[in-house]
Structure 1
């Protein structure tokens, strides 16, 4: 692709202006996972997007998982990953590894990437400042060990980081009443964090284009969904399998007061900027 002219650059910036004004001084939460987290080129595109948003006065909060890295570390230590209904069974030994990999390696790698791209960021996890309070997840009907559900989000550590000019990077582990450490689903955590801090927008990066009417045909993308239509879409089988928890977290965020939540394709470079700075956006928006 050829270089764009200075004039074209100026036009692009002018077109972005109304969107920058719309989100100026507002907070957006990005849930980061999937291919965009593994592919170095895509990771770099995500980091530059977040730094750019931050520099034009939009408050950014990055919430991340790290399933593949946890599986890799368990394998290295000779421990088999076990899944129950798509969720990782987490025993005492596994939660130590989850804490080490998520709050340590993955979290600090993301902080480093943001810093390298000119951003100011700080790594946090749900244990810091009592940010994520949790209890054992019981509603699945299966025992998942130390997998938790969120009972409360304390926004103060996040507000403090934003107030001091940092992009908070949050690893999703939570703390129980008696100090137990819980593994928390990152999609769910992103929705609850977005609601707790009064975010304007939640963006969930995935490895698919968005919600498709026909899952085998990317041209059947549904750009906008009202949360009231979701049960019907599940009944029709349009929302099924691994999409259900992602859609649920978007619905949860909107129901708790977030203006909109989007599932966007993390495989597309700069998909965050396209979603933020254009009318048509990218992926599927829930409102």
Structure 2
């Protein structure tokens, strides 16, 4: 039976080993931009939320330049319910009429965004809350499908404001609401916004925090996680039906960002405490990493 002193020594040795393993990654990524799309269960669980935000602040403290992009679907649904508006979906897209768009903007920009900024500040970082409208960061256009209302796509990105903020040591927190040239607001998928921002910023990494372990060879079996793959394999997995359902747009988002110059895209399980740090700063990682070609693996 292990004694208490031996247990303490072993735990201390583990912490030292983890820190030592992290050092080359910290050195490699210092000064590089990391775009983190934050949502899912990690956003609904209060204790997980605090851990995720502390991890984001940790990234900034060791010299990386994190940019956070967030959605907020469950909270939007909650507020629609309070206001007597029935949430509607069509082909996986939230039907966003004028009244729903007002609620989406109120919740994402006014509540979720400012809560995350407050958590960053309390954890010792400097959070700055933004949406696509601020500094014309994102110009939107209609998504194009009939009957979905003010659902948008990214038309263009202007990174000037974000680059000023990250260089000054701030952590931008961007909600996925943007406007078109006429000023009409649109609700844009947060994964899409994160991918396009990562590409425009020349990010080292795009990290999508999800409610799954990553890309699975068999989605019933978490032990079949595919830890590393390239664009070609990712496309093949979609064609073969291995990547299906809600994972298809996430993988496509990653592929698109890689094709535009992002060095690596990651899909990780936000339900695991400190998943962000485990993926970036350990040899084994914790989710699926997609790179442009097999030579980068």
**Which band: TM-score by shorter chain?**
over 0.9
Alignment counterpart, residue 270 of structure 1, candidates 271, 274, 293: 274
Compared with structure 1, are the counterparts of its residues 16 and 230 closer, same or farther at alpha carbon in structure 2 (3 Å cutoff)? closer
Distance 1:232 1:168 in 2: 35
**What is the SS of the residue equivalent to 2:130?**
strand
State whether structure 2 residue 172 is matched by structure 1 residue 168. Answer: yes
Residue of structure 2 equivalent to 1:34: 40
Pairwise CA distance, 1:115: 1.1
Tell which deviates more after alignment, 6-15 or 209-218: 6-15
TM-score of the two chains, using structure 1 as the length reference: 0.96
Distance 2:21 2:225 in 1: 25
Is the 1:84–1:142 contact (alpha carbons within 8 Å) kept by the matching residues of 2?
Answer: no
**What is the SS of the residue equivalent to 1:209?**
coil
Alignment counterpart, residue 156 of structure 1, candidates 146, 154, 160: 160
TM-score of the two chains, using structure 2 as the length reference: 0.93
5+ residue gaps, structure 2, are 292-297
Pairwise CA distance, 1:174: 1.1
Map residues 197-236 of structure 1 onto 2, 5 A cutoff.
197-236=201-240
Pairwise CA distance, 1:231: 2.8
Compared with structure 1, are the counterparts of its residues 280 and 8 closer, same or farther at alpha carbon in structure 2 (3 Å cutoff)? closer
Pairwise CA distance, 1:5: 5.4
Is the 1:146–1:183 contact (alpha carbons within 8 Å) kept by the matching residues of 2?
Answer: yes
Alignment counterpart, residue 48 of structure 1, candidates 43, 54, 63: 54
**What is the SS of the residue equivalent to 1:247?**
helix
Aligned length: 285
Residue of structure 2 equivalent to 1:80: 86
Residue of structure 2 equivalent to 1:137: 143
**What is the SS of the residue equivalent to 1:80?**
coil
**What is the SS of the residue equivalent to 1:285?**
strand
Residue of structure 2 equivalent to 1:58: 64
Residue of structure 2 equivalent to 1:92: 98
RMSD of aligned Cα (Å): 1.4
Distance 2:43 2:182 in 1: 33
Pairwise CA distance, 1:6: 5.0
5+ residue gaps, structure 1, are none
Query: For residues 98-128 of structure 1, what are the alpha-carbon distances to aligned partners after superposition, in whole Å with 9 as ceiling and x for unaligned?
Result: 1110011000000011111111111011000
State whether structure 2 residue 248 is matched by structure 1 residue 237. Answer: no
Is the 1:133–1:175 contact (alpha carbons within 8 Å) kept by the matching residues of 2?
Answer: yes
Map residues 165-204 of structure 1 onto 2, 5 A cutoff.
165-204=169-208
Distance 1:87 1:19 in 2: 38
Distance 1:58 1:231 in 2: 30
